[in-house]
Amino acid sequence: MSARRWAVALGLLALALPFVLEGNRFLAFVYSIVMIHLIWANGMNLLYGYVGLMPLMFAGVAGVAAYAMIYLTRSHEWSFWLAAPMASLGASLFGVLLGLPSLRLTGFYFTLCSLVIQTVITLAFVFFPTFTNGDTGINQIAPPQAPWGGALSGVWMDETLAIVAVLSVLLCGWIVSTRLGKRFMAIREDDVLAEVLGIDVVRDRIIAFFIVSMFASIGGCLFAVTIGFISPRSFDVLTSLNIWLFVAFGGRGTLIGPIIGTIVLAPIPYLLQELQGFKDVLSGVLIIVVTLLMPGGVWGELLRWRDRRRARRALAVGQT
Amino acid sequence: MSDATLLVVASTLSTGLILGAIFALVAAGVTIVYGCVWLPNASNGQFFLLAALAAWSLTGAGLGSAAAIIMVLLLGLVLSLGLEWLLVRRLYDVPNRNVACFVLTLGLTQIMAGIFSMTWGRWSDQYTLPPLVSGITMIGPFPMTNNRILVLLIALVVLAASFALLRYHRYGRALRAVFQNREAAALRGVDVRAVYRMSFLLGSSIIFLGGLLFALAYSFDLTVAWTMSVTAFAIMIVGGPGSVLGALVVGMVFGFTQAIVSIFASPTAATFSYLLAMLAMLLFKPTGLFLR
């Protein structure tokens, strides 16, 4: 099958699975979690894989959107379908603001800066409880309204998440294929060279931060209504690091990589409910393994292995 | 000033001094490693906590404080040698390795945090060490425990020693040479990898010592790791990466800030201010205030 057919089959499978899993609430729940993280991983991949910046404040932006959405639905009685896009828009503008340091800093200094920003956001969530209810968190978040009245829940909620996740993959693929995507990759490879070639690096980075924050925000809003409970810990630096790990483990800068990483890694915390400490150890080990042994991620290493084999075979053919 | 105000001022001064010296120590440990190896050690807070927790366990098992400290320092040396051999040395030849190193130590942070929550986190939630020496000295009208005075002295002596080491000793000069230009240093006969290893060991040991001193002076819990990490990074960035003098000055400033802020508000407010100082520094003068 061609790559396009594979993609269509995968997309249809993702859309069909909620109905298959309808009978088992636990599996359906894990599935919905995977779908939300898939949206996040796609956003993270755009910035980390294609623009080449590692934003550790990713989860903070998602948190800002989630809290804003809850504020709008609770205090102003907006519908979720209006509140979520507005909150996401606001949080994305905020995300652009947080991305401004990238205009001066790259590499380690940008990552450190984003870590500081994330820590400040988490502290702000805890110490300004007017909107966030502090460490206690906000519970009983109402699910979105269904178009046919009542609350959207169960299989249709899962289906909504699957649709948004599939759309996020499609959007990511489309962006990468446009001229903007090519410019992102040029900036990733060498931002000075890109500038010399006439690419407006500043403008493109700002655009990237806007798009990526949009992914983070929409994921954050959906996360809040799916789980029904959020606290500052839902959006702390470990969340950012986890999403980064999904991308790096699967393969940065590829479309399929983050999907692999999310499907493999996102369910783990929910399967290890009792062993939270063990989960931390496991993801720490994975982070180290990815950095030291497979910088290209699972998919990247697979591609490299295939290329090497092809090269060897071509060499063998040439010799006979 | 009334007696009560004087007492508050005096206790703020002593807290500021001790906290500042410990901050400066840990930041010096981080800055030596970053300055030389380009390894931003994000797990410094966990190292710090590990030393404190290990000392707590050893003293709990009946060892005296001094013996426990020596044991923990040796343990820290073995641990950092192991880490260097297992992980860190693999990144020595990677160009632009500071992001990879940073991520690596973030992974290490997560592993250690997980282990701590599964072990020490279950055994207790507040830890104190028995004092190193007993007794109280009156400094003017103000009482100060001998234990804290000793802690302060050790911290200052070690800081001074590491400053002198980097300035005047052969090893320190080799280290700074590698920092400035690795190839040229190698050409002049410096064993670059050995210098890297030495500075990682030295930096980690200083961080371990910082954790021990903190545990001797104050009671602590598991959250101190993250706060310390962030604070040490903030000090390193503001003071200038690689500068022990910068770590000392900025560490003292931050220590006093924390002591003063803690009178009026929660210590977290102080953390807020470090983070903002670091952010401003990163944005406007990433090379820091002090030269190395």
CB contact under 8 A, A288 and B102: no
Q: Estimate the crossing angle of helix A297-319 against helix A256-265, to 10 degrees.
A: 130
Please report residues of B whose CB lies closer than 8 A to that of A111: 99, 102-103
Residue appearing with tokens 């697979």: A302
Q: Do B107 and A281 touch (CB under 8 A)?
A: no
| Token output for A251 | 């393969």
3-state secondary structure of A110: helix
Chain B residues near residue A101 by CB distance under 8 angstroms: 279, 282-283
pLDDT of residue B1: 58
Which chain B residues are closer than 8 Å to A291 by Cβ?
100, 103-104, 107
Residues in contact with A286: Cβ distance below 8 Å, sequence separation at least 6, in sequence order: A245, A249, A265, B107
pLDDT value at residue A261: 93
For residue B171, which amino acid is it?
Y
Q: Please, are residues B178 and B35 in contact by the beta-carbon 8 Å criterion?
A: no
- Range A193-213 average pLDDT: 91
Q: Which CATH number fits domain B3-284: 2.60.40, 3.10.110, 1.10.3470, 1.10.540?
A: 1.10.3470
Residues with Cβ within 8 Å of residue A13, at least 6 apart in sequence: none
Contacts of residue B84, defined as CB under 8 A and 6 or more positions apart, other chains included, come to B197, B200, B201
pLDDT of residue A320: 61
Q: Where are the alpha helices (DSSP H) in B87-218?
A: 97-118, 120-123, 146-168, 170-180, 182-187, 192-217
Mean pLDDT, chain A, rounded, equals 88
Rounded to 5°, angle at Cα B59 from B58 and B65: 115
Check B103 against A54: CB less than 8 A apart: yes
Q: Domain residue spans in chain B?
A: 3-284
**pLDDT at res. A6:** 85
Write the single-letter amino acid at A60: G
Sign of the Cα pseudo-torsion (B89, B95, B100, B101, in order): positive
Give the pLDDT band of residue B157 (cuts 50, 70, 90).
very high
A192: distance to nearest CA of chain B, Å? 16
The one-letter code for the residue type at B26 is: V
Cα gap B57→B128, rounded to integer Å: 10
Nearest-by-Cβ selection for B114 from A123, A278, A291: A278
Contacts of A241 in chain B (CB under 8 A): 106, 110
Closest residue in A to B287 (Cα–Cα):
A109
Q: Who among B40, B100, B278 is closest to A291 (CB)?
A: B100
Provide the domain count of chain A. 1
The model's pLDDT over A275-287, given as tens digits with 9 standing for 90+, comes to 777 888 888 999 9
Beta bridge partners of A238: none
CB atoms A280 and B110 under 8 Å: yes
Report CB contact under 8 Å: B282, A292.
Answer: no
CA distance B93 to chain A (A): 12
Q: pLDDT at position A206, please?
A: 92
Token digits for B175? 């280290």
Please tell me the distance from the alpha carbon of residue A4 to that of residue A276, in angstroms, as a whole number: 39
User: Strands, DSSP E only, in chain A?
Assistant: 138-139, 229-230
In this model, does residue A294 exceed pLDDT 90?
Answer: no
Token pair listed for A34: 């995977």
Q: Which residues of A touch B271 (CB under 8 A)?
A: 123
- Alpha-carbon distance of B136 to B204, in angstroms, equals 32
Interhelix angle A201-227/A58-75, rounded to 10 degrees, is 50
What is the largest distance, in Å, between two alpha-carbon atoms of chain B?
Answer: 65
Query: What is the C-alpha end-to-end distance of chain A, expressed in Å?
Result: 31
Is-contact A29 A185, C-beta < 8 A?
no
Residue B292 reports pLDDT greater than 70: no
Alpha carbons B101 and A195: distance in angstroms, whole number:
28
Conformational region of residue A152, where left means phi above 0, alpha means psi within -120 to 50, and beta covers everything else:
beta
Residue A230, pLDDT score:
92
How many other C-beta atoms can be found within 10 angstroms of the C-beta atom of residue A274? Answer: 7
Chain B nearest C-alpha distance from A317 (Å): 35
Q: Give the pLDDT band (50/70/90) at residue B9.
A: confident
Q: What percentage of chain A reaches a pLDDT higher than 90?
A: 43
**Across B6-10, average pLDDT:** 80
Under an 8 A CB cutoff, do A281 and B114 touch? yes
Nearest CA-CA distance, residue B139 and chain A, Å? 38
pLDDT value at residue A224 = 93
Nearest-by-Cβ selection for A281 from B111, B230, B279: B111
Show Cβ contacts of residue A91 under 8 Å, excluding neighbours closer than 6 positions: A61, A62, A64, A65, A68, A213, A216, A217, A220
- Secondary structure of chain B: what % helix, strand, coil (to 5)? 75, 5, 20
Joined together, the tokens standing for residue B73 give: 């320092």
Chain A residue whose CA is closest to B109: A284
Q: What is the dihedral of CA A35, A41, A46, A49, to 10 degrees?
A: -140
- CB-CB under 8 Å, A287 with B103: yes
- Cβ neighbors of B119 (< 8 A, separation 6 or more) are none
SS (H, E, C) A260-320: HHHHHHCCHHHHCCCCHHHHHHHHHHHHHHHHHCCCCHHHHHHHHHHHHHHHHHHHHHHHC
Nearest CA in chain A to B104: A288
Please count the residue pairs, one from chain A and one from chain B, whose beta carbons lie less than 8 angstroms apart: 105
Chain B nearest-CA distance from A284, in A, is: 4
Residue B185: pLDDT over 90: no
**pLDDT of the residue at B87:** 87
Q: What percent of chain B has pLDDT over 70?
A: 98
pLDDT in tens, B231-277: 898 898 888 887 888 889 999 999 988 888 888 877 777 888 888 88
Q: Give CA–CA dist A133/A203, Å, rounded.
A: 37
Nearest to A284 among B107, B230, B234 (CB): B107
Residues of B in CB contact (< 8 Å) with A are 40, 87, 90-91, 96, 98-100, 102-104, 106-115, 117-118, 121, 230, 233-234, 237, 268, 271-272, 275-276, 278-279, 282-283, 286
Three-state secondary structure string covering B180-197 = HCHHHHHHCCCCHHHHHH
Residues of A in contact with B113 (CB under 8 A): 280, 284
Cβ pair B243, B3 in contact under 8 A: no
Residues of A in contact with B110 (CB under 8 A): 238, 241, 280-281, 283-284, 287
d(CA B36, CA B55): 29
CATH number at residue A40: 1.10.3470
Other Cβ atoms less than 10 A from the Cβ of A182: the count is 13
Inter-chain residue contact B271 with A281, CB threshold 8 Å: no
- Convert the pLDDT of each residue in A45-83 to its tens digit: 999 999 988 899 999 999 999 999 999 998 888 888 999
Say how far apart CA B45 and CA B224 lie, in whole Å: 7
* Position B212 pLDDT exceeds 90: yes
Contacts of A280 in chain B (CB under 8 A): 110-111, 113-114, 117
Contact B109 A284 (CB under 8 A): yes
Cα gap A234→A139, rounded to integer Å: 12
The domain containing residue A208 runs over which residues?
A: 3-319
pLDDT at A262: 94
Residues of chain B neighbouring A109 (CB-CB closer than 8 A) = 282, 286
**For residue A273, how many other CB atoms are within 10 A of its CB?**
8
Q: Which of A241, A238, A245, A257 is nearest to A286 (CA)?
A: A245
Tell me which residue in B99, B107, B109 faces A108 most closely, judged by beta carbons: B99
Burial of A175 (0-12, 13-18, 19+ CB in 10 A): middle
